[in-house]
Amino acid sequence: MKNTLLLADDEEGIRKVLGITLADAGYEVRTAENGLDALRLFRETCPAIVLTDIKMPGMDGLELLRQIKAERPETEVIMITGHGDMDLAVESLKLEATDFVTKPINDDVLAIALKRAQERIAMRRQLREHTDNLKKLVRKQAARLVEVERLAAVGQALEGISSAFRGMAGDIEGGIRFFNEMPCFVSVHDRDLTVVSANSLYEERLGDLVGRRSWEIYADRRDRPFTCPVARTIESGQGQRSQETIIYRDGSQYLVMVHTVPIRNGRGDLELVLEFAVDISEVGRLREELHSTQGRLAALGLMVSSVSHGVKGILTGLDAGVYLARSGLSKQDPSQAAEGLDTVGQMVERLRQVVLDVLYFAKERPLSWKTVDVRRFAEHLLEASAPKMRKHAIELITEWQEPLGQMEADEAVLTPALFNILENAVDACAEDRNRSIHRITFRAGSQPEQVVFEIVDNGVGMTPATREKIFDMFYSSKGRSGTGLGLFIARQVIHQHGGTIRVDSTAGAGSCFRVQLPRVLPHTEKERPPDSLR
């Protein structure tokens, strides 16, 4: 099947020559002589690739590009420009054009631009397939988890199990083969309130009680033996359901939900009682684990969507940087080449941060605690942020409350968390156009049991609505350039260290992030599982 391509140019000769070349390359070509006709054809045919002249009467190529990206952002648009329109070409790249070619059009250059467009289309198709597969996996796992929850609700399933055991009344040995594998305490009692058989879990947790009395496992029934569930079943002839406290063989006591089923002989006389006891605390743990896993799967789907938008913006920036670098080298313009390389470097750094955020999100691990010199830790943090501050001419002010001393931390995890807060402060200053001088103040304070870091900027600040959501998962005030994981993960890391983070901010007046960390976290807190991220 041929790929549809829309060619827009006000010069008939170019439309004819390019149309033949593109048809020979395997494209089904639709042509338009101006921007308005091109937009109409675009809406009718939905081409994957649009090749358009920048300068056309009426609607020019840049406006056509804006309209196309607004309606179908995935469309690849290649601009045709003259040698004197380089500023317009760069502007088109900022509007997410795929590439541009200059007149007179070189076939090899055009082929390279089209190949790039096809590669981007193929990459999106693969990403869409991967996303669809992931969604299917999430749905499949969610369905399995729902099934697990049904199985965990043992109380609701007991009636069906009871029916099966009624048919085993004459074959106790056969019944044991089945209930030996069950994840609850199962036992069979006779009319004399004696345990005649029990499954392996019953014997493992409660002891070898075969031949003992039915009430002995209950903490509050020993003084009232004929009120135990088995005795009530024999007296009433009906199954019983009650919450009881049982005693494990080590003396510990646990709440259980007990169900009993009367088993009758062929004449209808009650001969035996089948008893199930389910540890309520274990059921609760399974449900909590289930809900946590469900939330994690849902968050994973959101993360894929968020990260895909962030990566798309990074790829666009990389394209622009590579173009500027190549163009500068070909024209022997060192400043343009340097600008392109600087753009590439920024995009690579953003991509690195996205990867680190995703890795932390995807894999929880225990912290590796070490004693850290607070002053040295803070200085290394500021050194990492210094290049970006210098680039945006931001003044750094440091205030040290000596002696800062030491603290226990996982430096490899805590450093990126605080670095993310510093990066946000730099971005807030760079975004502000109302001040000529921007500064960031970094304070390190010392208390007997705590270390306090404050990061203060005079950037754009935040509205109350933004301030409330700033630590929420996948919330980003940076549009496509953010994944919405940075500050969320920073807060999680600080909480893992036993600390707190607070933000005070006013729109137009800057922000202050205050982080308090204990110098030493108690061992019991270090061993505590981290708060769920989902």
The b-or-e profile of 262-285 (16+ CB within 10 A means b, else e) is bbeeeeeebebbbbbbbbeeebee
pLDDT at 429: 94
Provide the residue count of the chain: 534
- Domain residue spans in the chain? 1-150, 158-283, 364-527
Average pLDDT over residues 229-236: 93
Name 349's Cβ contacts closer than 8 Å, sequence gap at least 6.
Answer: none
Share of the chain above pLDDT 90, in %: 37
| pLDDT bucket at 220, cuts 50 / 70 / 90 | confident
355 sits in which H/E element: helix 334-362
Tell me the mean pLDDT in the region 225-235.
Answer: 91
- Mean pLDDT (the chain, rounded): 81
Alpha helices for 180-242 (secondary structure H):
200-206, 229-236
Q: Which residue has the higher pLDDT, 470 or 54?
A: 54
pTM: 0.39
| pLDDT average, residue stretch 160-187 | 50
What is the per-residue pLDDT for 441?
96
pLDDT at 254: 87
Taking only the tens place, the pLDDT of each residue in 27-82 is 999 999 999 999 999 999 999 999 999 988 889 999 999 999 999 999 999 999 88
Highest mean pLDDT among 94-108, 468-482, 505-519: 505-519
pLDDT (0 to 100) of residue 229? 93
Domain 158-283 = CATH 3.20.20.70: no
| 102 close to 90: Cβ distance less than 8 angstroms | no
Looking at per-residue pLDDT, the higher value among 485 and 48 belongs to 48
Asked if residue 289 has pLDDT above 80, the reply is no
Tokens of 462: 């935040």
pLDDT at residue 527, as a whole number: 65
Percent of the chain with pLDDT over 70: 77
- Within 10 Å of residue 244's Cβ, how many Cβ atoms? 17
What torsion, rounded to 10 degrees, do the Cα atoms 81, 82, 86, 92 define? -10
Residue 178: its pLDDT value, please? Answer: 45
pLDDT at 391 over 90: no
Per-residue pLDDT averaged across 404-421, rounded? 89
Q: Residue 59 CB: number of other CB atoms within 10 A?
A: 17
Q: What is the pLDDT of residues 258-288, one digit of tens each?
A: 999 999 887 888 989 999 888 776 555 556 6
Structure confidence at residue 201 (pLDDT): 86
3-state helix, strand, coil in the chain (%, to 5): 50, 20, 25
Instruction: Judge whether residue 359 has pLDDT over 70.
Output: no
pLDDT at 328: 85
pLDDT computed for residue 63 by the predictor? 93
Predicted pLDDT of residue 65: 93
**Model pLDDT, residue 167:** 41
User: Model confidence at 168, in pLDDT bands (50, 70, 90)?
Assistant: very low
* DSSP tag of 529: P
- CA 34 to CA 10: how far, in whole Å? 6
Instruction: Using alpha carbons, list the distances in angstroms from residue 385 to 346, 349, 415.
Output: 13, 12, 11
pLDDT digits (tens, 9 = 90+) for 82-136: 866 778 888 888 899 999 998 888 888 899 999 999 999 998 888 888 888 888 8
Structure tokens at 315: 């790829």
What's the pLDDT band for 438 if we cut at 50, 70, 90?
very high
pLDDT at residue number 159:
43
C-alpha pair distances (Å), 513 with each of 78, 161, 428, 490: 44, 58, 13, 12
pLDDT at position 343? 79
Q: What is the CATH number of domain 1-150?
A: 3.40.50.2300
pLDDT of residue 357: 59
Where is pLDDT greater, at 12 or 533?
12
pLDDT tens digits along 332-342: 888 888 888 88
In words, the CATH class of domain 364-527 is alpha beta
pLDDT(2) > 80:
no
Of the CA atoms within 13 Å of residue 455, those in its CB half-sphere come to 24
